[in-house]
Amino acid sequence: MVSDSLDPLHGLDPEQLRAVTAPAGPVCILAGAGTGKTRAIIHRIAHRVRSGDVAGRHVLAVTFTARAAGEMRDRLRRLGIRGVSARTFHVAALRQLRYFAPRLFGGRPLPELLDSKARLVGAAASAVRLKADPAEVRDLAAEIEWAKSCLTDPDEYPAAAAKAQREAPYEYDVVAAVYTQYEKLKRSAGLMDFEDLLRAAIWAIEEHPDVAAQVRSQYRHFVVDEYQDVNPLQQRLLDAWLADRDDLTVVGDASQTIYSFAGASADYLVSFPRRYPDCVLVRLTRDYRSTPQIVALANTVIRQARGSHARLRLTLVGQRPPGPEPQLRSYPDEVAEAAAVAEQCRELIAGGTPAREIAVLFRTNAQSETYEQALAEAGVPYVVRGGERFFERDEVRRAMVAIRAAARTEEPRDDLAQAVSEALTATGWQPGAPPSGGAARERWEALAALARLAEEWAADAEQPLSLADFHAELLRRAANQHPPEVEGVTLASLHAAKGLEWDAVFIVGLVDGSVPISHARTPEQLEEERRLLYVGITRARTVLWLTWGAARTPGGWSRRPSRFLPYQAQPELAAAAGRMPRRRRQAAVVTCRICGAVVQDGVERKLERCRDCPSDMDEELFERLRTWRLRVAQARKTPAYTVFTDATLVALAERRPTSTAELVAIRGIGPHKVALYGDAVLALIEGADPDDLPVPS
C-alpha cells in the first residue's frame, strides 16, 4: 500500500484530480495563479509512472528556467519517481546534440555556445559603422533574439518587425544589417547562440531520420510547463519531438503572458483545443496562494482585459481565510512613495514578517535605486533580484572557494554549521549584527544565507555531513539556479517576479508611462501591460499595496495614475486623482459605465464604456439621428462628421439625454453645437421625425 506522502492522488482537489487522471493523449490544463499547476503536472507524471502507464525514462518535461526544472526533479524524487527528464528547452536540445554530435558533425566538436550576444552584436554594429552605446547594443541583441525566436532571418526582419510594430533602437533596415553581420561573425568564430542550439536540434531531427527515430523512441510522453510562454522556435522543436503523436500535456495561463516582446505567444495555448479537438481541457481556478481580498482585486483587473487571450481568462476563487483589504495609496512624489513603502516594510518586519517574505515590485530596473536608498535609510535589509545571479556574486564565489579549500583539510566533526561559519570568516564575513549601508549589508546577507542553509541542511540530514558534501550541494544548486533564501526585502521588476510569491507585496510606481510603459501603444502591447500588473498582484499572499507618486521628484510635473488601477474599488482614489494639482492639462479619469474599467481611447471616453462591453443603444434613434445629420450636412455643404461624429451619435443613442446639461456632459458636444443643434437633438430623442425638423442655416 502506498503511503499518503507518496500517493500521487492524495490531497488533490476535484479539478486537479481530473487533470492528473486524464487518459493518455492531449491534455490542456488552464491554471490560474496560485492554483497548484506544478502540483498537477508533477502528480500527473507520478500517477502515470506509478500505474505502469508510462516508464519514467520515456517522459520529457520541459519548462523555461533551470530553477523550475530542478524543482520538478526534486518533487518527483519526493514522490519516489526516478528517471524522468525534466529540463529547459535549451538543456534538452543541448544534451541531444552532444549525444548525436559524432554522426551529425562528422567528428567535429559541437560549436562553442555563446553565453551573451552583447560582444558580437557590438562588433557587428561597428562593422556596419554604427556607433551604438551599451544600452543600444543590448536593444539590438534583444531584436536579434526576438527575430531568431520567431524563425525570422535577417532579410525577413524589416517586414516582420513592421508587422509586429517593434520598437527597435534603429531603423529596421539598419537592425537587419547588424543582424546579418552578427551571423557572419558568429559563424566565422565557430560559435552558436541559444537560438542556434534549438535550430540545430530541429535540423538534427527533421533532416536525419535515424536521429529522429532514436529521439522519438526515447521520449514518448511530453509535458510542457508555462505553455503560454512558448515561442515559434520552441514550438517547432516540440513538434519535431512529437511527430504525429499526441501524448502531450500542456499547462499555462493566457492571463500571465508577459513575454510577447521576446517572441512568446499564447496563441499555441489558445489554439490547443482546436489543434487537438479530442483533448481533455481542465480549468484550475481554486487559488490557494492569496487571500480572497487579493483574489478579488486580481479578478477585477484582469476582467478588463480585451483581445484573443482574454477568451481563456480564468476567474479565480480564493480558498484562504479572509485577510486585509489591498491598499491603493497615492503620494506627492516618488521620494515620499519610497519612504512610505520602506517604513511599512520596517513595521511588517518588526511585527514578525520575515524580510525575505516581503517584495517591492516595479516596472523597470531603473526604479530600483530609489527603493534601495529608502530601505537603507530605514535600516531594512534588501536583495535586488534580476541583477547578478546569487552564485555569480563575487562574495559568493569567494565563499565557495573558501569552503572547498577548508574541505580539503577538514577533520571529522559533527557540526557542519560551525564548519561553514569558520570557512566564511576567511572571506571577512562575521556572524552577528550585519554592517550598516545598503551594499555592504547586501553582501553580508548573501553569506549569511549560506550559513543558514548549512544549519537547515544539517538539521534535516540523517547522518553527519562534511564540508565536501555541502560544497557539492552548493554546486548542484548553482547548476539548478536554486539559491538559498537571503534575509532581505526583495526588490524586483514585475517580469522577474513571475513564478514567485511573498507574504507581503508592494507594487510601486503605478503611473501611466510606467504601467503601462510609455512605448506600449498597440492594443496588444497595452493588454500585455495589464497582464503584467495582474501577475504582480497575484504574487501576494496576504498583504498588498498598490502605490504611485503624483510626481517623479518633489515639485515636479504631475502624472496620472495607471489606467489599470481599479478606481471603482476605491472611489476616493479616483477623486484624489481628479483633484491633483497639475502643471499641465491632463485628461480626467473616465471609467466604463458597464464594467467600471478605466478607459483611455477617445471613442471609449466619449461613450463612457469599453468598446467590447455590451451596448444599450436605441438603434431606431440612431438611424433617425443619422438621417437628420445627413440633411443638415447637405444643407450646410459640409462633411457629415463636422455636425456630429459617428461616436457622438452612438453616445446620444445610448445615453438618450433629456436636457441641455446632459447634452453638454457628452464629450464632443460643446456650447456651440448645443446652440446650433441642441433643440433638434432633444426633439429627436423625444421621438420627432427628422423630416419634420428645421435645418439650421
pLDDT, residue 580, reads 43
Percent of the chain with pLDDT over 70: 88
Residue 437 has pLDDT above 60, yes or no: no
Q: Which cell is 182 given?
A: 552578427
Residue 445 has pLDDT above 70, yes or no: yes
pLDDT, residue 152, reads 95
Rounded to an integer, the average pLDDT of 90-116 is 87
pLDDT, residue 230, reads 95
Residue 234 has pLDDT above 80, yes or no: yes
pLDDT, residue 441, reads 64
Q: Give the three-class secondary structure for 80.
A: coil
Percent of the chain with pLDDT over 90: 47
Rounded to an integer, the average pLDDT of 126-132 is 90
Rounded to an integer, the average pLDDT of 268-283 is 94
Residue 224 has pLDDT above 60, yes or no: yes
C-alpha–C-alpha distance, residues 643 and 633, integer Å = 7
Which one, of 40, 31, 42, 26, lies nearest residue 76 by Cα?
Answer: 42
Rounded to an integer, the average pLDDT of 62-74 is 88
Contact call for residues 693 and 684 (beta carbons, < 8 A): yes
Rounded to an integer, the average pLDDT of 599-606 is 64
Strand-pair category, 27-31 with 280-284: parallel
pLDDT, residue 364, reads 85
pLDDT, residue 651, reads 86
Contact call for residues 328 and 300 (beta carbons, < 8 A): no
- Give 3's pLDDT tier (boundaries 50, 70, 90): low
Task: Name which residue leads in pLDDT, 571 or 287.
Answer: 287
Rounded to an integer, the average pLDDT of 265-280 is 93
- Give 541's pLDDT tier (boundaries 50, 70, 90): very high
pLDDT, residue 167, reads 83
Residue 667 has pLDDT above 80, yes or no: no
Which residues, other chains included, contact 346 with Cβ-Cβ below 8 Å and sequence gap of 6+? 378, 379, 380
Residue 342 has pLDDT above 90, yes or no: yes
Contact call for residues 288 and 320 (beta carbons, < 8 A): yes
For 464-492, give one letter per residue: b (16+ CB within 10 A) or e.
ebebebbbebbeebbebbbbbebbbbbbb
Q: Give the three-class secondary structure for 445.
A: helix
Q: Which cell is 233 given?
A: 522556435
Task: Name which residue leads in pLDDT, 184 or 617.
Answer: 184
Question: Among the listed ranges 47-51, 143-147, 435-439, 683-687, which one has the minimum average pLDDT value?
Answer: 435-439
pLDDT, residue 1, reads 46
Q: Which cell is 157 given?
A: 526582419
pLDDT, residue 603, reads 66
Rounded to an integer, the average pLDDT of 11-39 is 94
Mean pLDDT, the chain, whole residue set = 86
Residue 126 has pLDDT above 70, yes or no: yes
C-alpha–C-alpha distance, residues 71 and 141, integer Å = 30
Rounded to an integer, the average pLDDT of 423-436 is 76
- Give 583's pLDDT tier (boundaries 50, 70, 90): very low
Q: Which cell is 334 given?
A: 516618488
pLDDT, residue 542, reads 97
C-alpha–C-alpha distance, residues 72 and 61, integer Å = 9
Which one, of 206, 224, 227, 223, lies nearest residue 215 by Cα?
Answer: 206
Give the largest CA-CA distance in the chain: 106
C-alpha–C-alpha distance, residues 488 and 447, integer Å = 12
C-alpha–C-alpha distance, residues 265 and 258, integer Å = 9
Question: Among the listed ranges 27-41, 97-111, 214-228, 234-248, which one has the minimum average pLDDT value?
Answer: 97-111
pLDDT, residue 569, reads 46
Which one, of 116, 85, 82, lies nearest residue 99 by Cα?
Answer: 85
pLDDT, residue 636, reads 76
- Give 38's pLDDT tier (boundaries 50, 70, 90): very high
Residue 571 has pLDDT above 90, yes or no: no
pLDDT, residue 595, reads 65
- Give 576's pLDDT tier (boundaries 50, 70, 90): very low
- Give 222's pLDDT tier (boundaries 50, 70, 90): very high
Rounded to an integer, the average pLDDT of 405-425 is 78
Residue 462 has pLDDT above 70, yes or no: no
pLDDT, residue 587, reads 45
Residue 360 has pLDDT above 90, yes or no: yes
User: Residue 650 — φ and ψ, nearest 5°?
Assistant: -60, -45
Residue 147 has pLDDT above 80, yes or no: yes
- Give 566's pLDDT tier (boundaries 50, 70, 90): confident
Q: Where are the beta strands (DSSP E) in 498-635?
A: 502-507, 540-549, 590-591, 598-599
Rounded to an integer, the average pLDDT of 484-500 is 87
C-alpha–C-alpha distance, residues 347 and 336, integer Å = 17
pLDDT, residue 301, reads 93
